[in-house]
Amino acid sequence: MPGLLSAELQPRSVLRDKRAAPVEVVGQLAANGVGERTGRLANSVRKAGGGEEDRQGFPVVFGETILGLPKQARQEVQRIFVARSDEPSLIPLARNGKAGGEPVEPEVGGAAELSLGVAGREIGEQVRCDENAGTAADGARVIAEQMVFWRTMDVTISSPAAGTDTTVRLLLPPGWSPSASRTWPVLYLLHGCCDTDQTWTQRTNVAQETQGAPVIIAMPDGGPVGFYSNWWNFGLGGKNWETYTATELPQILQSGFRASAVRAIAGVSTGGGAALFIAAHQPGGYVAAASYSGMDCTQQPAAVATITAAILRTGIPPAGLWGDPVSQFPIWQDHNPCALAPSLRGTQLFLSVGSGLTLSGSQTSCSAGVTGNILESVVATGVYTFAATLTVLGIPHTSDFYGGGCHDWPDWSTAFDRSWPMLEAALGA
């Protein structure tokens, strides 16, 4: 990857380097002669507090801080990145704020004001908060949309199933428009414990890896602890996150976002196990499913203890999820990919996990510290058991098992890169 001082600094490299604060990036763009007004932009970023960090301590780059900038600064960021894009023909543009038809290839440092984003939308623009923005059969509906970056849209949904308003981040494909004549398949990416719908784009290179692919990438929030489950809630229900993820959201994307019925699903940690049990609950409903360090055998004693600890971390009574492992055994079993494995026959499967600690018991390099190594070792036992179950059943699957490793996003980003060719092919992209 080129460094920030490279004379050929590319947008993807800038965005991929999460260690680079926005002010620093803008300064280097100016030093490389990109654009005519980067000095003013750098000052605007400084005034807006461009050194903000996310919960993991990584400085947030343009895609997350741009909304806090003045309109002129937002437009300048857009102009720079369009001008430097190595795939300008894939970016639908608008000139002087008016929606254009064919994509325009801008000139570096050109005088014309450019707004970019799919369907000619400006970054930061609030759009389509009406009945045409997507609805589900149970009344779930879109209540807000906002372009975050040139192909990134945050959508807020009022969900009767989840009993709350929730958000999903979308990565939209080239040529996408809510009025397009074609449709696109959807890949759902689920986060893990204590993350959000934004974590996939903040902690992995999913936007770069999938750029140019004719696929909608949907990253929904998974509710408390990211289990994407219909919570037992001591018999009261009312927190039906699986219904939202697997029923309401697909209906909304099909009705308002030109999504097709072709779907794949993948997730990390608690979201990895959720990707598998959601696919198993709808046999044939997903062409592929991938689990990266997932909770793939949830009724193993170590898994029960890990799930309990994860929920306690959020201050929620653990029994609220699926009840007591013994008293509510059927509920636990219905969320156990090992028990549901027969229902995954015909779905292309990808499993990835590291051993965590080495065979000698020593720690390998881990961004989350030795705790991440230990947790990965615990999770690996369930993944190995699930893979063995699939083998006994004669269900084909791809295993990406590696020594060492860490229960954290850097390893999951690599795992996603390895699985993407399979997912892309399964989606017909």
Shared-domain flag, residues 149 and 108: no
| Average pLDDT in the chain | 78
The pLDDT score that the predictor gives to residue 218 is 98
The pLDDT score that the predictor gives to residue 363 is 55
CATH number at residue 376: 3.40.50.1820
The pLDDT score that the predictor gives to residue 7 is 24
HEC secondary structure over the chain: CCCCCCCCCCHHHHHHCCCCCHHHHHHHHHHCCCCCCHHHHHHHHHHCCCCCECCCCCECCHHHHHHHCCHHHHHHHHHHHHHHCCCHHHCCEEECCEECCCCCCCCCCCCCCEEECHHHCCCCCECCCCHHHCECCCCCEEEEEEEEECCEEEEEEEECCCCEEEEEEEECCCCCCCCCCCCEEEEEEECCCCCCCCHHHHHCCHHHHCCCCCCEEEEECCCHHHCCCECCHHHCCCCEHHHHHHHHHHHHHHHHCCEEEEEEEEEECHHHHHHHHHHHHCCCCCCEEEEECCCCCCCCHHHHHHHHHHHHHCCCCCHHHHCCCCCCHHHHHCCCHHHHHHHHCCCEEEEEEECCCCCCCCCCCCCCCHHHHHHHHHHHHHHHHHHHHHHHHCCCCEEEEECCCCCCHHHHHHHHHHHHHHHHHHCCC
Shared-domain flag, residues 45 and 179: no
The pLDDT score that the predictor gives to residue 226 is 86
Domain that holds residue 278: 131-426
Domain's final residue, options 70, 92, 120: 120
Shared-domain flag, residues 56 and 143: no
| Mean pLDDT per 10-residue section of the chain, whose length is 429 residues | 26 31 46 46 47 35 43 55 36 28 29 44 65 89 91 96 97 94 98 94 94 97 92 92 98 97 98 98 98 97 95 92 97 98 98 81 67 91 98 98 92 97 96
The pLDDT score that the predictor gives to residue 96 is 27
The pLDDT score that the predictor gives to residue 120 is 59
The pLDDT score that the predictor gives to residue 141 is 96
Domain tally for the chain?
2
